[in-house]
Amino acid sequence: MKTLFSFLLIFTLYFSAGAQEQNFVFILVDDLGWKDLGYMGSEFYETPNIDSLSRESIQFDNAYSSGSVCSPSRAAILTGKHPARLKITDWIPGARFPNKKLKEPPILNELPLEEITIAEKLKENNYSTFYVGKWHLGKKAYSPEHQGFDKNIGGFHKGSPAGGYYSPYNNPALTDGPKGEYLTDRLTNESINFLDSIGKKPFFLYLSFYSVHTPIQSNEKYISKFKKKLASLNNPKSNTRKERKGITTLEQYNPNYASMVYAMDKNIGRLIQKLKEEGLYENTTLIFTSDNGGLTTIKNTKKRIAPTAVIPLRAGKGWLYEGGIRVPLLIKPAGYNEGIKIISEPVIGHDFFPTILSMAEIAYESNNLDGNDISPLITGKGNFENRDLFWYYPHYHGSAWSPGAAIRHQNWKLIQFYETGKKELYNLKYDISEINDLSSKYSDKVKQLENRLQKLQKKTSAKKILLRSSVESQIR
């Protein structure tokens, strides 16, 4: 009996420790659209490795970024806080429009060092932490190595690859490779090298691809594949649709963009293969997502169109319509073997902080956190209460977006446009494309959601936007 008790005790301690020491790989793709993947319905782009991962993962079909542009979303992922609370509501440093009607609120140009990041919490608990790729959250004093990461390769203050996607990279955090080296390949190589260096410690690998951000620069290995594919189609057309002062691309026919997506997918396949070869895959929670919607909408000019499309969603990056904030999300938990599982509850980028720490069984201070622990949705254990999600983008953007905010309450979504005072109401259950504005039909619902939105803005201390005359606008 004593021997049996000892065995059970050892068994319990072993699996308890295993749960605490699972590894985490977080893959963030820049500007990847909701429909840019095969498993999400793309017929022109090809993503066999991500499609394979989707069949081994939990798929979230109502996943959102915390903002419609990069820096706010990235700050929210790391801290669990809403961009409004962090005072990072635009891409850093943003663009200014002094001749516009509204005066945009100032933003911080870095993620403050006082903020506690996922990496800092994991590092405190014996995790090796490694950051590779795009950062865009402040200059050198605020770079990843000062925010909880043991090592940073490639992360600096610029939001796009300064030298393009081929070496030389013009990146102070990344040494140049041989001529012709491709940035996405290099970042994956560095991630694989990290896995060779970790020893027996649990690890947190944050792989933040620069792809598929502009410049849209074809991958030379794969561009001919997609040019041939385009040529094989019957009369493909780059159809567009007007979106206020912008124009939205409606078809996925850009071979340059397709080659970038394919290269990104190839490298994710390489990384997963490495995890499997090293016996790490089973005990690793792998998260794959995008920082905002795809680049589908730009200012209406005759010279260019956006590189991708996310139909049936409306608009894209920079906008608070679904196309700008709804993103793909796959989570493959450690030890998961249940195959495809689809979760429809809405989740958002600032949920990752409490969720990862909860899965690692690491305590964290929940005061002033805006994200929710979504691990009950992942494990099927415990309760998860739906809450209101909101977005605050009080800035002008090159996509032709003008300042505004939005809230999702259950299936209802309200969007406010501050310049005109216009409010639009949609029921996403029946109208994912946000075509049928119901604001005039359900005026009481508009008031209800507006009140909820104002309370959330107040709770997060959202900075106000002003008229140029310094008279306070409609935002409270």
CB 55 within 8 A of CB 339: yes
403-420 residues labelled b (16+ CB within 10 A) or e (exposed): bbbbbbbeebbbbbbbee
In a domain, 416, yes or no: no
| Interatomic CA distance for residues 194 and 117, integer angstroms | 20
Looking at residue 476, its pLDDT comes to: 39
453, containing H or E segment: helix 443-459
Instruction: Supply angle C-alpha 32, 319, 286, rounded to 5.
Output: 30
In a domain, 41, yes or no: yes
CB 432 within 8 A of CB 322: yes
110 token code pair: 């870095």
In a domain, 5, yes or no: no
| Interatomic CA distance for residues 140 and 122, integer angstroms | 22
Question: Domain with 134 in it: what CATH number?
Answer: 3.40.720.10
In a domain, 157, yes or no: yes
| Interatomic CA distance for residues 15 and 12, integer angstroms | 5
Residue 328, CA distances (Å) to 29, 30, 45, 142 in order: 10, 12, 15, 28
| Interatomic CA distance for residues 119 and 430, integer angstroms | 40
In a domain, 108, yes or no: yes
Looking at residue 388, its pLDDT comes to: 98
Residue 26 has pLDDT above 80, yes or no: yes
Looking at residue 236, its pLDDT comes to: 76
| Interatomic CA distance for residues 150 and 153, integer angstroms | 10
Residue 9 has pLDDT above 50, yes or no: no
Average pLDDT, the chain: 93
**14-23, 31-40, 198-207, 393-402: least confidently modelled range:** 14-23
Q: How many domains does the chain have?
A: 1
Whether the CA torsion 421, 425, 428, 430 is positive or negative: it is: negative
- Give tens-digit pLDDT for 354-373: 999 999 999 998 888 999 99
CB 113 within 8 A of CB 187: no
| Interatomic CA distance for residues 334 and 340, integer angstroms | 15
CB 358 within 8 A of CB 79: no
Residue 280 has pLDDT above 90, yes or no: yes
Looking at residue 97, its pLDDT comes to: 87
Whether the CA torsion 255, 313, 69, 351 is positive or negative: it is: negative
Residue 1 has pLDDT above 70, yes or no: no
Residue 399 neighbours by CB under 8 Å, 6+ apart: 246, 295, 297, 298, 299, 315, 316, 317, 318, 319, 324
Query: Which residue spans within 150-228 are E strands per DSSP?
Result: 151-153, 203-208
- Give tens-digit pLDDT for 115-141: 999 999 999 999 999 999 999 999 999
Residue 451, CA distances (Å) to 206, 370, 411 in order: 37, 18, 17
Residues of the domain holding 232: 22-388
In a domain, 77, yes or no: yes
User: Which three-class secondary structure string do you get for 260-326?
Assistant: HHHHHHHHHHHHHHHHHHCCCCCCEEEEEEECCCCCCEEECCCCCCCCCCCCCCCCCCCCCCHHHHE
In a domain, 451, yes or no: no
Residue 4 has pLDDT above 70, yes or no: no
178 token code pair: 């041989």
The arithmetic mean of pLDDT across residues 179-188, rounded, is 97
**Which amino acid, 201?**
K
The arithmetic mean of pLDDT across residues 281-307, rounded, is 92
Confidence (pTM): 0.93
Looking at residue 468, its pLDDT comes to: 66
142-181 residues labelled b (16+ CB within 10 A) or e (exposed): bbbbebbbbebbbbbbbbbbeeebbbebebebbeebeeee
In a domain, 433, yes or no: no
CB 63 within 8 A of CB 329: yes
